[in-house]
């Protein structure tokens, strides 16, 4: 199911004046995005910058309810969407927006785009999902980690004997086989993400490249957002060039 991205692009345009910066990572599970945002947070803190990290579906107020619903297998697509929206709203009002106003760099491991992708694949209306999250501020940058579905699945299954019911998309009756269902479900989520790349201005990172190479690209983009960091930008460019020479890699822009 691939829906038009125009409702998302037109509705999610809220850019409020805040002192801080909102940096988001997106992508299916197994892309390495969480590793990259943790490395970015460590790097920013080393520069004595105020940093706050937030993750999808992590509100203590909502987590228990969501967990119970999943265990009983009673979550409809709309219920699932609203629970995650409630979780997001709680974290947004308690942490994300107040800290942005206070001048923090907020690092978000998933943001509204996760809902745009997953909820639409589960059958929710794109316009409805956008309306639910219409209060959210637009990020300063969104990194989308692009990885082939089979590579992501292989990473996820390392050391994991079983996929979870909703994680595998079993509620959508895509396949009786859990692993086939997961592959189909994640492939459809990737389609939704890809439809957002240009309208939402994602910065695309090749998630199959080396961890250090990815981090260099992420930092290079972030440096442009930070004030009074011109000299450090030069140093970062020199480090990246040295890394590319040593590893014989060619970094190209993804449009």
Asked whether the CA dihedral 126, 132, 138, 141 is positive or negative, the reply is negative
CATH 3.40.50.300 fits 16-210, yes or no: yes
Predicted local confidence at residue 51, as pLDDT: 96
Predicted local confidence at residue 122, as pLDDT: 95
- Are 140 and 23 in contact, with CB atoms under 8 Å apart? yes
Instruction: Render pLDDT for 196-239 as a digit per residue (tens, 0 to 9).
Output: 999 999 999 999 999 999 999 999 999 998 866 555 555 655 66
Predicted local confidence at residue 68, as pLDDT: 78
More confident: 126 or 248: 126
Percent over 70 (pLDDT), the chain: 83
Give CA 218 to chain center in angstroms.
14
Q: Residue 255's pLDDT band (boundaries 50, 70, 90)?
A: very low
> Helices (DSSP H) in 175-253: which residue ranges?
178-200, 211-223, 230-247
Question: Greatest CA span in the chain, whole angstroms?
Answer: 56
Instruction: Render pLDDT for 25-53 as a digit per residue (tens, 0 to 9).
Output: 999 999 999 999 999 999 999 999 999 99
Q: Is the pLDDT of residue 101 over 90?
A: yes
User: What mean pLDDT, rounded, does the chain reach?
Assistant: 86
- Residue with structure tokens 């945002």? 37
Predicted local confidence at residue 35, as pLDDT: 97
DSSP state of 139: P
- Are 131 and 120 in contact, with CB atoms under 8 Å apart? no
Structure tokens at 4: 């038009």
Predicted local confidence at residue 60, as pLDDT: 81
What interhelical angle do 230-247 and 211-223 show, nearest 10?
A: 160
Percent over 90 (pLDDT), the chain: 65
Nearest-CA neighbor of 27 among 154, 142, 182?
142
Reduced to 3 states, what is the DSSP secondary structure of residue 3? coil
* Burial class (CB within 10 angstroms; exposed 0-12, middle 13-18, buried 19+) of 10: exposed
Predicted local confidence at residue 240, as pLDDT: 60
Q: Residue 88's pLDDT band (boundaries 50, 70, 90)?
A: very high
Predicted local confidence at residue 95, as pLDDT: 95
Question: Among 19-23, 212-216, 243-247, which is the least confidently predicted range?
Answer: 243-247
Instruction: Render pLDDT for 140-186 as a digit per residue (tens, 0 to 9).
Output: 999 999 999 999 999 988 867 788 888 899 999 999 999 999 999 99
Q: Which helix (H) or strand (E) holds 34?
A: helix 33-46
Predicted local confidence at residue 229, as pLDDT: 53
pTM of the model: 0.83
Q: Is the pLDDT of residue 8 over 80?
A: no
Instruction: For 35-66, give the DSSP string.
Output: HHHHHHHHHHHHTT--EEEEETT--HHHHHHH
What interhelical angle do 112-121 and 178-200 show, nearest 10?
A: 130
Angle at 152 between CA 83 and CA 132, to 5 degrees: 25
Give the domain ranges of the chain: 16-210
Q: Can you name the residues that pair with 22 across neighbouring β-strands? A: 106
Give CA 18 to chain center in angstroms.
21
Structure tokens at 206: 């090749």
* Burial class (CB within 10 angstroms; exposed 0-12, middle 13-18, buried 19+) of 60: exposed
């Amino acid at each position: 199911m691939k829906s038009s991205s125009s409702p998302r692009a037109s509705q999610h345009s809220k850019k409020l004046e805040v002192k801080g910066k909102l940096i988001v990572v997106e992508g299916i599970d197994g892309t390495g995005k969480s590793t990259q945002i943790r490395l970015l947070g460590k790097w920013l803190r080393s520069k004595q910058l105020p940093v706050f990290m937030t993750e999808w579906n992590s509100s203590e107020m909502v987590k228990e309810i969501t967990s119970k619903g999943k265990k009983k297998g009673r979550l409809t697509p709309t219920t699932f969407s609203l629970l995650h929206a409630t979780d997001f709203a709680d974290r947004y009002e308690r942490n994300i927006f107040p800290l942005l106003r206070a001048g923090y760099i907020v690092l978000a491991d998933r943001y509204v785009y996760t809902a745009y992708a997953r909820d639409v694949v589960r059958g929710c209306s794109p316009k409805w999902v956008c309306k639910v999250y219409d209060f959210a501020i637009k990020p300063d940058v969104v990194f989308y980690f692009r990885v082939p579905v089979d590579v992501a699945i292989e990473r996820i299954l390392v050391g994991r004997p079983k996929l979870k019911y909703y994680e595998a998309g079993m509620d959508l009756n895509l396949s009786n086989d859990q692993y086939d269902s997961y592959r189909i479900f994640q492939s459809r989520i990737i389609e939704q993400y890809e439809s957002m790349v240009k309208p939402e201005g994602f910065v695309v990172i090749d998630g199959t490249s080396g961890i250090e190479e990815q981090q260099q690209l992420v930092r290079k983009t972030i440096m442009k957002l930070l004030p009074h960091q011109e000299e450090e930008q030069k140093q970062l460019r020199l480090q990246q060039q040295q890394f590319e020479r040593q590893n014989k890699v060619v970094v190209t822009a993804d449009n």
